[in-house]
Amino acid sequence: MSGDELLARLEDPELYLVDVRDPDEVADWQIPGVHNIPLASLGSRVTELPEDKDLVLVCAKGTRALQGAELLAELGVESRVLEGGMATWGSTYDQVAADFGGATVVQLRRRGKGCLSYVVGAGSRAVVIDPSRQLGKYRDVAR
């Protein structure tokens, strides 16, 4: 599952997120609504997983989640993995736009980090306020 797909489905009651990182890692930073079952105990806690939900595993970069998905597959449980893990979530953006007095204001929200930035444009000019490192996002909006 991509970060954009997760973003689109974050409020979906059919989605069940399991973070397989250790509890201290999850406490530092997590996706809203995630359930923490560390990889080391995933096999023994498989009965805690719902059978009627779209199960998506998450970890820091995707490696442990892939191991968890392989383990679950061996136990007959279907799951998917957030591609790139929390690193992907940290660089997933959504946006909203509105027109104000001849200018268009686009708010870009970096969901995993809670950062907000803005592109304000009128005619052929635009300014970016408080950008993050992914400058391509702002170039796309300005176009």
Residues with a known catalytic role: 59
Which of 88-97's residues contact partners 24+ apart within 8 Å by CB, and which partners?
88/2, 88/3, 88/62, 89/3, 89/6, 89/31, 89/58, 91/3, 91/134, 92/3, 92/4, 92/6, 92/7, 93/134, 93/137, 94/7, 95/141
- With beta carbons less than 8 A apart as the criterion, state whether 70 and 95 touch: no
Helical segments of 1-128, H only: 3-9, 23-28, 39-42, 63-74, 85-89
d(CA 83, CA 54): 15
Determine how many CB atoms are found less than 10 A away from the CB of residue 142: 16
